[in-house]
């Protein structure tokens, strides 16, 4: 008997796992607000995009469930990375796989269907380069998971129960309303395109992938480049796009990425569709994210095993960084749209809340705590707004209260210029102030100067 190729083994493994999941799920009728397993699979196949990678990319999406080169169980992250690196590019592409989940939700009084694709990579290799402040930070870590969301609207007057399960009819019944592609975590917004009225996007969609870090962006016009206002309709102070160079400057430049031309690596979905470009394309396997979560839960790993498999975030990265490597291989969040909502509201979500930190008053250490509210403004030229009420409690002195309103404009992905004013109880009067707000992972460093009293204040805070 002829042995199966690596792709055939992968397909057989994922098919058997997903089939078992489908059989168990189909045993009982699903609730009315859920889609059946065959409907979910048909929708994921019908809208599966083409991912376009840098010609020098070393890591491609693969299955979290397949234990590379082992006889069973789950490989440690060290073994997973080493075994993947030992593969040829052709072998890596033979193992290309993307997880999916599909769920309906009610948004602004309208029922829409969300398709979520998980692109899992065994390693993230990226160097971040500062904008106005020249610095370089290596963002290398095991596991990387990037999410792509397609929000679909019904084109026919049918209920969710009546959605078809064959690819061609699915594409007639549903059409893409918006594309939300993850860029980087922290406060960096996703790359987002919303379809105009009467516009229909040709399928399959083309998704550009950043070298090493695997940030994604739609390529609506199919020219192999990310172009603001063409490939994205979301107006933000920082438009990340695709930045193979790692630059963090706020305004996007054409030079940040290499054109994805005929030398780029393309991986396509399993559903037969005419390609939008005359370049070769390797196929990837789709598998259920729900089955991935169930499979990992069934492993019953000890705390030591989990650390060996998932890795652990170093204390320095845990303190100052945005990523948690333990959460990247198998995310545990449910398919209800909460992760999508958090993604599209990143800055407001990460910077609004209870604030605590340190500063100094007359060379004495002081604790700072209070509340902050951030409101983003949908204009590249108009600053965002920050409202704060803070208590400054210095050692050996009476605490003071500040109530301030700031305008904030992004210089780059981590730095904002702030100008504002408010009332300060230590002087019993109002004052104007200006400064810089610099983000280091979960912490913010903010040096400011008051205009009237010329007081200087530099505080380090984090938000909960």
Q: Are residues 171 and 292 in the same domain?
A: yes
Which residues contact residue 324 at a Cβ distance below 8 angstroms, ignoring those fewer than 6 apart?
313, 318
Cross-strand bridge partners of residue 57: none
- Do 221 and 357 belong together in one domain? no
Same domain, 311 and 355: no
Distance between CA 345 and CA 329 in Å, rounded? 23
Is residue 129 within 8 A of residue 135, CB to CB? The reply is yes
Pick the closest to residue 21 from 38, 45, 42, 33 (CA basis). Answer: 38
Q: Are residues 363 and 276 in the same domain?
A: no
271, 301: one domain: yes
Separation in Å, CA 233 to CA 110, 266, 373 = 21, 25, 25
CA pair distance 285, 13, nearest whole angstrom: 11
At CA 70, angle to CA 67 and CA 74, rounded to 5?
Answer: 45
Pair (272, 373) in one structural domain: no
Q: pLDDT tens digits for the chain (464 residues)?
A: 334 454 554 444 444 444 444 433 333 333 345 799 999 999 999 999 999 999 999 999 999 886 544 455 688 898 899 999 999 999 999 999 999 999 999 888 889 999 999 999 999 988 877 776 777 777 788 899 999 999 999 987 778 888 888 888 999 999 999 999 998 876 788 999 999 988 999 999 999 999 999 999 999 999 999 999 999 998 777 889 999 988 888 788 899 999 999 999 999 998 766 655 578 899 999 999 999 999 998 888 888 988 899 888 766 555 545 678 888 899 999 999 999 998 888 777 778 999 999 998 777 899 999 999 999 887 878 899 999 999 999 988 899 999 999 999 988 878 899 999 999 998 889 999 999 998 877 789 999 999 988 889 899 999 88
In residues, how long is the chain? 464
Shortest CA distance to 237 belongs to which of 416, 10, 83?
Answer: 416
Is 128 within a domain? yes
Cis amide prior to 204 (ω within 30 degrees): yes
Is residue 121 within 8 A of residue 144, CB to CB? The reply is: yes
Angle, CA 27 vertex, CA 22 and CA 31 arms, to 5°: 90
Which of the listed residues 313, 344, 375 is the one where a domain comes to its end? 344
Q: Is residue 247 part of a domain?
A: yes
pLDDT for the residue numbered 319: 52
- Angstrom distances, CA of residue 73 to CA of 7, 61, 220: 20, 20, 41
User: If phi over 0 gives left and psi between -120 and 50 gives alpha, with beta otherwise, what is residue 159?
Assistant: beta
The answer to the question of residue 442 being in a domain is: yes
Task: Give the Cα separation of 80 and 124 in Å (integer).
Answer: 13
d(CA 225, CA 241): 9
* Boundary-marking domain end, from 315, 344, 373: 344
Assign residue 387 the CATH number of its domain: 2.40.160.20
The pLDDT assigned to 69 comes to: 45
Q: Is residue 305 part of a domain?
A: yes
CB-CB contact of 200 with 211 (8 Å): no
Same domain for 110 and 88? Answer: yes
Tell whether 300 is covered by a domain.
yes
Number of H helices, E strands in the chain: 10, 21
For 117-148, the DSSP string reads: EEEEEEEE--EEE-SSS--EEE--EEEEEEEE
What is the spatial distance between Cα 445 and Cα 253, in angstroms, rounded to a whole number? Answer: 27
Number of structural domains in the chain: 2
The three-class DSSP label of residue 152 is strand
The domain boundary, picked from 344, 372, 405, lies at 344
State whether 375 and 421 are in the same domain. Answer: yes
Domain that holds residue 82: 6-344
Query: 30 vs 16, 39, 418, 438, CA distance in Å?
Result: 21, 12, 51, 48
Q: Are 95 and 185 part of one and the same domain? A: yes
149 shares its domain with 71:
yes
pLDDT at residue number 266 = 96
DSSP for residue 76: -
- 237 sits in which H/E element: none
Q: Are residues 353 and 335 in the same domain?
A: no
- 244 with 306, same domain: the answer is yes
Contacts of 80-87 spanning 24+ positions with Cβ under 8 A:
80/122, 80/142, 81/122, 81/123, 81/142, 84/59, 84/122, 84/123, 85/58, 85/123
- The answer to whether 340 and 116 have CB atoms below 8 angstroms apart is yes
Which tokens belong to 461?
């805070």
Query: pLDDT at position 179, please?
Result: 97
Does residue 302 fall inside a structural domain?
A: yes
- The structure's pTM equals 0.84
Quote the pLDDT of residue 317: 58
For 100, which DSSP code?
E
Q: What is the dihedral of CA 194, 200, 204, 208, to 10 degrees?
A: -30
Residue 1 maps to a domain = no
Q: Is residue 458 part of a domain?
A: yes
């Amino acid at each position: 008997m002829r042995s199966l190729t690596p792709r055939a083994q992968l397909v057989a493994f994922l098919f058997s796992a997903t089939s078992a999941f489908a059989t168990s799920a189909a045993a009982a009728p699903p609730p009315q607000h859920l889609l059946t397993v065959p409907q979910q699979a048909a929708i994921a196949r019908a809208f599966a995009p083409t991912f376009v990678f840098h010609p020098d990319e070393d890591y491609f999406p693969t299955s979290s469930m397949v234990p590379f080169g082992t006889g069973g169980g789950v490989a440690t992250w060290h073994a997973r990375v080493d075994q993947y690196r030992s593969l040829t590019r052709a072998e890596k592409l033979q193992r290309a796989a993307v997880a999916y989940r599909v769920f309906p939700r009610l948004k602004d009084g309208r029922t829409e269907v969300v398709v979520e694709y998980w692109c899992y990579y065994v390693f993230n290799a990226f160097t971040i380069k500062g904008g106005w402040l020249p610095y370089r930070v290596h963002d290398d870590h095991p596991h990387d998971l990037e999410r792509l969301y397609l929000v679909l609207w019904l084109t026919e007057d049918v209920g969710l129960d009546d959605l078809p399960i064959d690819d061609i009819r699915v594409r007639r019944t549903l059409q893409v309303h918006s594309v939300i592609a993850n860029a980087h975590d922290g406060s960096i917004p996703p790359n987002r395109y919303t379809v105009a009225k009467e516009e229909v996007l040709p399928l399959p969609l083309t998704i550009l992938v950043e070298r090493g870090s695997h940030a994604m962006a739609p390529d609506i016009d199919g020219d192999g480049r990310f172009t603001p206002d063409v490939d994205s309709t979301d107006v933000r102070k920082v438009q990340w796009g695709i930045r193979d160079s790692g630059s963090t400057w706020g305004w996007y430049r054409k030079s940040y990425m290499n054109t994805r031309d005929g030398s780029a690596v393309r991986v396509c979905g399993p559903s037969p569709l005419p390609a939008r470009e005359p370049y070769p394309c390797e196929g990837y396997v789709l598998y259920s994210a729900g089955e991935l979560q169930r499979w990992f839960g069934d492993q019953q790993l000890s705390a030591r095993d989990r650390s060996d498999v998932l890795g652990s975030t170093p204390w320095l990265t845990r303190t100052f960084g945005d990523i948690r490597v333990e959460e990247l291989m198998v995310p545990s969040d449910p398919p209800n749209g909460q992760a999508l909502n958090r993604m599209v509201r990143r800055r407001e979500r990460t910077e609004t809340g209870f604030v605590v930190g340190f500063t100094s008053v007359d060379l004495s250490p002081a604790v700072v705590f209070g509340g902050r509210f951030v409101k983003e403004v949908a204009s590249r030229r108009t600053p965002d707004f920050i409202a704060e009420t803070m208590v400054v409690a210095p050692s050996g002195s009476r605490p003071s209260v500040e109530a301030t309103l700031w305008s904030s404009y992004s210089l780059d992905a981590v730095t904002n210029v702030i100008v504002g004013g408010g009332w300060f109880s230590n002087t019993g009067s109002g004052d104007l102030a200006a400064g810089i707000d610099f983000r280091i992972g979960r912490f913010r460093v903010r040096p400011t100067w008051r205009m009237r009293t010329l007081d200087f204040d530099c505080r380090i805070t984090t938000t909960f």
